[in-house]
Amino acid sequence: MAGVLIVDDEPEIVQFIGHALEDEGFAVSTAADGEEAVELATRDKPDLVVLDIALPRLDGKGVAAEIRRLYGAVPILVITADGHAREKAELVGAYGYLRKPFDLDQLVSSIQERLRS
């Protein structure tokens, strides 16, 4: 079972994504800020990270850098309300991005496709 770490400071978004991924058979862990995300990733390597950029305590760029320092290449999907989503995704080396509000089916499909490759 693939493990997905969801990092977002909006609890509704975390729950929304988390339930959908659990329904698809993924093991889900969640973090509400960057430091918590790094703590979780340190304990258990995620197979993929769904990452907001604007986070308290440590931003998405810092989270991505720490996870890459720990494990090398881990796929990251950026979710952001920022109008510069593509630039934000490139900044953290993400394989893709979705702008909030996003289509849940598209998010799940993107994760499934990435983990199959």
pTM of the model: 0.96
The tally of domains found in the chain comes to 1
pLDDT band of residue 21 (cuts 50, 70, 90) is very high
* Tokens encoding 59: 């931003």
Span 70-88, mean pLDDT? 91
Q: List the CATH number of the domain containing 28.
A: 3.40.50.2300
The range of the structural domain enclosing residue 35 comes to 3-116
pLDDT band of residue 87 (cuts 50, 70, 90) is very high
